[in-house]
Amino acid sequence: MGKHQTSNIAHRTLNETAGEVWMLHDDKAGSRKFDLESRLLEFASAVIDLTEKLPSSRAGNHIAGQILRSGTSPYPNHGEAESAESREDFIHKLKICLKELRETRRWARLIQRKGWAKDDPMLRFTLSESDELIRIFMSSIRTAQQNALKQKRRTPDPTQYPYSRTG
């Protein structure tokens, strides 16, 4: 009696506090909601819309399939990172998101080069948002790696025994 039950439920890391949404202020675009999960969802949705506009040819279908896979992958992989089993697993899953975003940007550039979605707002959004998301994930990975290194330096390796030199 008097004991509280605890759970091992992983809690989402949203940028919200008691219903309040944190805002990232950008001088160029005014204020902008900064919630990575929402941004990745919007990005995946835009990629889906973009693929629907590609030509129904052998090449168009191939590229649509490729960008559809890579462009929708960061959203669920970010969810996997949120429930990572370790810091190394977290970093690994962020790197998968980064890899898929870079691939998506390449496919979008090819679509742009082919002129398949001229003046299409979904293509412009995919190109610009992939650049921003790549920067965000690169920064997050760098920070997580630095934090892992700091933690490693603070925690002595239990397999190593201290020794003393006598001269």
In angstroms, the Cα distances linking 143 to 87, 92, 130, 148, 158 are 11, 13, 20, 9, 25
Look at residue 8 in the predicted model and tell me its pLDDT: 38
Tell me: the pLDDT tens digits for 49-82?
Answer: 999 999 999 999 999 999 999 999 999 999 999 9
Residue 102 lies in a domain: yes
Summary mean pLDDT of the chain: 82
Residue 129 lies in a domain: yes
Look at residue 62 in the predicted model and tell me its pLDDT: 98
| Tokens linked to 26 | 């950008």
Is residue 130 pLDDT above 50, yes or no?
A: yes
CA distance linking residue 40 with residue 80, whole number of Å:
13
Look at residue 14 in the predicted model and tell me its pLDDT: 36
Is residue 9 pLDDT above 90, yes or no?
A: no
CATH number at residue 78: 1.20.1440.60
Domain tally, the chain: 1
Element (H, E) at 144: helix 121-154
Residue 106 lies in a domain: yes
CB 44 within 8 A of CB 74: yes
Residue 28 lies in a domain: no
- Split at pLDDT 50, 70, 90, the class of 151 is confident
Tell me: the pLDDT tens digits for 71-121?
Answer: 999 999 999 999 999 999 999 999 999 999 999 999 999 999 999 998 999
Element (H, E) at 125: helix 121-154
Domain ranges, residue 136:
35-148
CA distance linking residue 93 with residue 162, whole number of Å:
35
Residue 164 lies in a domain: no
CA distance linking residue 101 with residue 72, whole number of Å:
9
Residue 29 lies in a domain: no
CA distance linking residue 48 with residue 10, whole number of Å:
29
Name the phi and psi angles at 155, rounded to 5.
-100, 115
Residue 165 lies in a domain: no
